[in-house]
Amino acid sequence: MSSVSWRPRPRVVDVAVIGCGIVGLSTAFQLQRRGLSCLLIDPRGPAGDASFGNAGAVAVGNLMPASTPGMAWPALRGLRNPLAPFKLDAGAWPHYADWLWRFLRAGRQERLAPIVDATHALNRAARAAWLDLAGAIGALELISATGYLHVYSEAVTFARAAGAREHMRRNGVAFDVLDAAQLRDLEPGLAAIARHGVLQRDSLFVKDPGEFCRRLFNWLCARGADTLIASARTIEREGEGYRVRTSGGDAHADQVVVAAGAWSGELLRPFGWRLPVAAGRGYHAMYPRQEGVVRRPTLWAERYMVVSPMRSGVRVTGFKEMTAPGRPVRPALIQGLAPQARLLFPSLSGEPVSDWAGLRPCTPDSLPILDRVDDERLFIATGHGHLGLTQGPVSGELMARLMVGEAASIPLAPYRLARFGRYARG
């Protein structure tokens, strides 16, 4: 007598969206607007990683790539400084060694202006995209038009940032340059060490990025999106569509969007692509909620540390640690940096009540990958690095337009996989 093992039938949808961070959820939102059914796949649900733990700034004026001319040796010399913003996880060296070489090459002078222009094209559309999305899902109270403040404690650092300010001027970004007195008028809690400042006037502040993603996820589900809280393991062609095999069962979709952040690369290897995306771990510490410490996300340039007045408390974010998925977290990094926030905001009291670490997907040139994979109905949206929150909603709109054949509102050439040449053909 033969026996047949029973397996549940795979879920069938128009689009499987792998990744429930702000990029994946924004893509699903735009696809549902266009009448397509979506399955949301993520092992931890909405905002399980970098979309939860960021500083909350929709930083429309942050145009400079991470790799710039002349930054290599200062960054490497700073590795010995426990407060320097750039760190290397030695045990993950094979994961990012080749990426690091390409990162340094991306910082050549002739590459700077094109990268800045491509970043600005996304950031310029970010404010309207965020307000549209928040209004549609009834979450405008989570968005505040505070602007994004950068402060400098050393005149030499402020002078070195003149190039960044010039790029903002050239691209029409609204910003104010502030002296020490003007800084104190804007942020009364700032210490006297803050001597110079730049306020990006049109930047927004998301007071609780994790809650925003949860609301967007629930909004999508209430309007028909299916969910699969599981890890995507493989994507396989099946008939005219694709079978997505996950730890929680299989799904069949006509199209697939890979928006899985630092985990995206493994899903595309069977299709002949090696994504130049490395995992840059960021950290944060949360102080108990207290009034009057800080009014808006404030970056201390010398520490590359951001202090933000989140709904649940004051968040201190910092570091970019090149690592790999699955590598152990080093909480001592943020535990050593967090007390520095009191040097900038002396009224900050108490001790951190929690800390967190999450992975940002980073490309060598700091531009995201927004593209279709060959002639497949397989699409990729990842690599936003430090600007994932800023560029998430506009990236979602661009991906949906690409998938349904609408004209792109922003030229997509700078974000194509082809810019990496043969390297990406792994």
Strands 298-300 and 278-288: what pairing?
unpaired
> What rounded mean pLDDT belongs to the chain?
94
**Domain map of the chain by residue range?**
7-66+107-142+205-275+363-426
Instruction: Assign a CATH topology to domain 7-66+107-142+205-275+363-426.
Output: FAD/NAD(P)-binding domain (3.50.50)
Taking the mean position of all CA atoms in its chain, how far away is CA 149? Answer: 19
The pTM is what?
0.95
- pLDDT tier at 397, thresholds 50, 70, 90: very high
**Interatomic CA distance for residues 354 and 299, integer angstroms:** 20
pLDDT at 58 over 60: yes
pLDDT digits (tens, 9 = 90+) for 146-188: 999 999 999 999 999 999 999 999 999 999 999 999 999 999 9
pLDDT of residue 5: 43
The per-residue pLDDT for 84 is 86
Give residue 2's pLDDT band: very low, low, confident or very high (50, 70, 90): very low
pLDDT more than 70, % of the chain: 96
* Inter-residue contact 178 to 197 (CB < 8 Å): yes
pLDDT of residue 345: 98
- pLDDT for 288-329, tens place per residue? 989 999 999 999 999 999 999 999 999 999 999 999 999 999
Write out pLDDT tens, residues 130-141.
999 999 999 999
Q: Give the Cα separation of 359 and 326 in Å (integer).
A: 10
